[in-house]
Amino acid sequence: MIPFNHLGMVFNTFGSLVYPKSVRKSLCNFLTPLKTQSKVLDIGAGTGMLCKFGYACREDLAYVAVDPAEGMMKYAKAYVETHRASAEVLPFDADSFDATMMGESLHHFRNVDEALKETVRVLKDGGRLFIYDFDVASFMGKSICKGEMLLGEPGNFFTPKALQAKLESYGFSVDIEIHGWRYTVEAILEK
Q: In this model, does residue 15 exceed pLDDT 90? A: no
Per residue in 123-149, is it b (16+ CB within 10 Å) or e — as a string? Answer: bbeebbbbbbbbbbebeebeebbeebe
Angle between helix 112-122 and 160-169 (nearest 10): 50
Q: In this model, does residue 9 exceed pLDDT 60? A: no
Confidence of residue 11 (pLDDT cuts 50, 70, 90): low
Q: Model-level pTM?
A: 0.92
| 8 Å CB contact between 68 and 90 | no
Domain annotation for the chain: domains and CATH numbers: 4-189 (3.40.50.150)
> Residue 44: which region, alpha, beta or left (left: phi > 0; alpha: psi -120 to 50)?
left
Residues 106-160 pLDDT 10s: 999 999 999 999 999 999 999 999 999 999 999 998 898 888 888 778 889 999 9
CA atoms within a 13 Å half-sphere pointing along the CA-CB vector of 84: 10
Residues 107-122 pLDDT 10s: 999 999 999 999 999 9
Residue 41's closest CA among 107, 123, 134? 123
Residues 51-97 pLDDT 10s: 999 999 999 999 999 999 888 889 899 999 999 999 999 999 999 99
Q: In this model, does residue 32 exceed pLDDT 90? A: yes
